[in-house]
Structure 1
Amino acid sequence: MLQNIGFPGLMLILIVVLILFGPSKLPELGRAVGRTLHEFKSSARELVSENKDDGEDSKDIVKERKDVTEKSPA
């Protein structure tokens, strides 16, 4: 859906936003959008790093189990 907007559609959206909120509110809206994107990106990075850490922990557990089974005389 967003692939078909193009430059004219984007300009129309910006004009409508300008009419609705006025020029004095646009900087505030821009800052709010920027803060929201920043928080979203940092949360996404945090989740990805947690998943990587969990994956490494499970690999360590698998290695320990292999070592134990290789050493057992059964």
Structure 2
Amino acid sequence: MECRGNDDVSRTWFRSDRFFNEGPDWYFSTRENTVEGPFASRTEAETGLMLYLRDMQAMESYGLQPARMPD
């Protein structure tokens, strides 16, 4: 699994689907332990994830760190 530079590489990673639905609404979970959504479909949630990742990469390019929840 690909890690960011500040991720702890000694941690055990579990693969799971980051997309899930509750009723008709779709969501995705992030490495920052947030849940993003609701989206009307899985396709829209996947697009939302791509936009989220783009924003995280832009923040990192400016030297900003996303808020992370303690483990």
TM range (shorter): 0.3 to 0.5
Structure whose alpha-carbon radius of gyration is higher: 1
* Greater RCO structure (CA 8 Å; 6+ sep): 2
Q: TM-score, with normalisation over the residues of structure 2? A: 0.36
Q: TM-score, with normalisation over the residues of structure 1? A: 0.35
- Which structure shows the bigger proportion of residues in helix conformation? 1
- Which structure shows the bigger proportion of residues in strand conformation? 2
